[in-house]
Chains A and B, each alone.
Chain A
Amino acid sequence: MFYYSIKRLLMLIPVLLGMTLIVFAIIHAIPGNPALTILGTKATPEAIHSLNRSLGLDNPWYVQYFSYLKDILSGNLGTSIQTHAPIASEIWPHLAATIELSFIAMIIAVFVGINAGIISAWKQNSFLDYTAMILALIGVSMPVFWLGLLEQWGFSIKLQWLPSIGRDDIRNGVDPITNLYLIDTLLRGRLDQFWMVIRHLILPAIALATIPTAIIARMTRSSMLEVLKSDYIRTAKAKGQRMVWIVYKYALKNAFIPILTVIGLQTGLLLGGAILTETIFGWPGVGLYIYNAIQYRDYPVIQSGILIIAFIFVMVNFIVDLLYGLFDPRIKYR
């Protein structure tokens, strides 16, 4: 197990290097003069020159790449063209916002998806099953941003039940500690604000959770159908155990590994969906940070934002891989 972890860790290195190379290319593979592209056609020669120097664009690309790598390793993610602030310090609040949103969305997806899948399989071919599967089909076919807009229209504009923008009310802002607002409000003992944060989370989290929920529901259903046909379920039934009991006991027993897999795979979808969801709901996460950077052609921010998210995705999958080994006795590593 120890050697397996080391081996996996070593295998990460080329992937991470490749990632940085691609992200590095965002600035350096732009045809023409990158500084001109970044600054726009009205830029003064001095501005171009100084940007060229600050980005190190005078050197050959491999020199630039290595200094870029060195910067990243020392925690320097570059400077935002828009705000002139170092990205590394600017990005953490955004990252925390994205992590909070994705985490809640993942919980919704796992809970709803697994239960819908189990019930669908258990009541196979019933009205309930058909409804759930049609919803799941629409869920995987749904553009996240459209769902978000519909939610805003229905629940914020028409019904006025929930806020549609941001993480908190402007006049009742959360005083950040960790920047994970659910935790911060509790730490400060502000239950009213905790409730406010939850109300802000609901709509974007549901939008973001839609696709993973649908995928998890479909996966759970088909694997449950197989389990329900197996001999040990028939034996349990023959022994006269109650069906609800059987289904949930065996389902959950067998569900952990698929849940892990799904979490690993869906993290990518979630983080990717976050950029669209955050744009719609004005959620100040990395997605919105990147989106604003795109509008402003703030290439260093686009670079670092994408790199951070890809890095998180890779690390989640790495951890999921290791967890397999801990939780599934059938998987043995040498």
Chain B
Amino acid sequence: MSQTSQATADPTVIEDKSSFIIAISEFWKSYRKNKPAIVGTIIVLFFILLAIFANFIAPQGINDQNIANRLQPPSPAHWFGTDDFGRDIFSRILFGARLSLRVGFLSVIGSIIVGTLLGVLAGYFGKALDVVISRVFDILLAFPSILLSIAIVAILGPSLNNALVAIAIVNVPVFGRLVRSRVLTVKEEEYVMAARSIGMGDMRIIFHHVLPNSIAPIIVQGTLNIATAILDAAGLGFLGMGAQAPLPEWGKMLSDSREYIQNAPWTVLFPGLAIVLVVVGFNLIGDGLRDALDPRMKN
């Protein structure tokens, strides 16, 4: 065929390289330039390391009580001071990082899985299913999120794990709606029509064509939602609807120490600082990912 030589000589065809690596390195190039995002990454990595190595770093166990030593201000022995049971606040915050990060990651992963499933069902198959699922989302979104979490915890009974489940449920419609709208957009793409035309089944189309093209916004939203999940878990802990004593959950630590704020403000200061830092970290990463992955989501 006469066109062969012409096609291969086409100047628009760039040097052969694995395009996956190109995509990753391109993403990294734009992400790296985003200084706040790097700061956020460092903060979150820092907390993840603290959580993993809490056993080795923490000077004391979380429940090592020493009543004689209660409500001591920060000192070389107790960097963040001690609480009303004489427990080392620094150590408790380290272990608290485990709890908060766990709630953040697990609840968001749960919301993403269920939300994606429902979003795909609603967006891809449409019709009555779409109406039902979308209505359920509307109803769940009609509650302020913390109140719905409280309602769910009221049903399940107060505990950190139930708080995790409640937060996951509350965030399902966030991802459900996101995925649904992505699916509706991608479904209209001609390459999906092309996929159907070669005789491809729905499942393969969803997993090979629709979902891969929806991942970027899910990752961005997921990162931002880890931040709010950590905040909500702390809020529930503060209200007594989340972690129960003696777990060193940061929100619970705050509510336990609020009566000592006058004489021992450090008991209130450090758990709150920890929450703010982690949440700032995830928010920075989320914003950075949005700029790097999905410029259209900027608002």
A and B touch in the complex (CB under 8 A): yes
Task: Choose from A141, A275, A291 the contact partner of B279 (Cβ within 8 Å).
Answer: A141
Binary B-proximity of A293-315 (CB < 8 A = 1, otherwise 0): 01100010010001001100110
Closest to A23 in B: B151
From known contacts A149-B272, A152-B261, A295-B240, infer whether A271 and B139 are also in contact, taking CB-CB under 8 Å: no
Chain B residues near A294 (CB-CB < 8 A): 150, 154, 239-241
Pair A18/B135 contact, Cβ less than 8 Å: yes
Task: Choose from B142, B231, B240 the contact partner of A310 (Cβ within 8 Å).
Answer: B142
Closest to B258 in A: A149
Pair B139/A18 contact, Cβ less than 8 Å: yes
**Which positions 135-171 of chain A face chain B at CB distance < 8 Å?**
137-138, 140-146, 149-150, 152-153, 157
B147 at the interface (CB under 8 A from A): yes
A182 at the interface (CB under 8 A from B): no
Pair B283/A137 contact, Cβ less than 8 Å: yes
Within the complex, the shortest CB–CB distance from B25 to chain A, in Å, comes to 28
Count residues of A near B (Cβ-Cβ below 8 Å): 47
Task: Choose from A18, A152, A157, A314 the contact partner of B136 (Cβ within 8 Å).
Answer: A18
Within the complex, the shortest CB–CB distance from B100 to chain A, in Å, comes to 11
Chain B residues near A19 (CB-CB < 8 A): 139, 142-143
- How many A-B residue pairs lie within 8 Å, measured between CB atoms? 135
From known contacts A144-B235, A294-B240, infer whether A268 and B155 are also in contact, taking CB-CB under 8 Å: no
**Which positions 149-177 of chain B face chain A at CB distance < 8 Å?**
150-151, 154-155, 157
Which listed segment binds B: A24-32, A107-115, A243-251?
A24-32
CA distance A294 to B157 in the complex (A): 11
Chain B residues near A15 (CB-CB < 8 A): 135, 138-139, 142
Chain A residues near B218 (CB-CB < 8 A): none
B54 at the interface (CB under 8 A from A): no
Pair A222/B298 contact, Cβ less than 8 Å: yes
Pair A157/B279 contact, Cβ less than 8 Å: no
**Which positions 256-299 of chain B face chain A at CB distance < 8 Å?**
258, 261-262, 265, 268-269, 271-272, 275-276, 279-280, 283-284, 298-299
B234 at the interface (CB under 8 A from A): yes
CA distance A26 to B149 in the complex (A): 11
Pair B275/A143 contact, Cβ less than 8 Å: yes
Chain B residues near A280 (CB-CB < 8 A): 258
From known contacts A22-B139, A222-B299, infer whether A306 and B147 are also in contact, taking CB-CB under 8 Å: yes
A272 at the interface (CB under 8 A from B): yes
Pair B146/A299 contact, Cβ less than 8 Å: no
Pair A137/B280 contact, Cβ less than 8 Å: yes
A290 at the interface (CB under 8 A from B): yes
B244 at the interface (CB under 8 A from A): no
CA distance A14 to B140 in the complex (A): 12
Closest to B224 in A: A140
Pair B276/A141 contact, Cβ less than 8 Å: yes
Binary B-proximity of A276-294 (CB < 8 A = 1, otherwise 0): 1001100000000011001
CA distance A219 to B299 in the complex (A): 7
Pair B155/A25 contact, Cβ less than 8 Å: yes
Chain A residues near B51 (CB-CB < 8 A): none
Question: Most chain-A CB neighbours within 10 Å: which of B136, B147, B238, B284?
Answer: B147
Chain A residues near B283 (CB-CB < 8 A): 137, 140-141
B181 at the interface (CB under 8 A from A): no
From known contacts A19-B143, A222-B298, infer whether A145 and B254 are also in contact, taking CB-CB under 8 Å: yes
A269 at the interface (CB under 8 A from B): yes
Within the complex, the shortest CB–CB distance from B271 to chain A, in Å, comes to 8
Chain A residues near B235 (CB-CB < 8 A): 143-145, 276
B121 at the interface (CB under 8 A from A): no
Chain B residues near A141 (CB-CB < 8 A): 227, 231, 276, 279-280, 283
Binary A-proximity of B241-258 (CB < 8 A = 1, otherwise 0): 100000000010011001
Pair B275/A306 contact, Cβ less than 8 Å: no
27 interchain pairs, CB-CB under 8 A:
A14-B138, A15-B139, A15-B142, A18-B136, A18-B142, A19-B139, A23-B151, A142-B276, A143-B231, A143-B235, A143-B254, A146-B271, A149-B254, A149-B258, A152-B261, A222-B299, A268-B143, A271-B144, A272-B144, A273-B146, A275-B147, A276-B238, A280-B258, A290-B147, A294-B241, A302-B154, A310-B143
Give 17 A-B pairs besides A30-B154, A280-B258 with Cβ atoms closer than 8 angstroms.
A14-B138, A18-B142, A22-B143, A141-B283, A143-B251, A146-B271, A146-B275, A146-B276, A149-B254, A152-B261, A272-B147, A302-B150, A306-B148, A310-B142, A310-B143, A310-B144, A313-B144
Residue positions of B touching A, CB distance < 8 A: 135-136, 138-139, 142-148, 150-151, 154-155, 157, 227, 231, 234-235, 238-241, 251, 254-255, 258, 261-262, 265, 268-269, 271-272, 275-276, 279-280, 283-284, 298-299
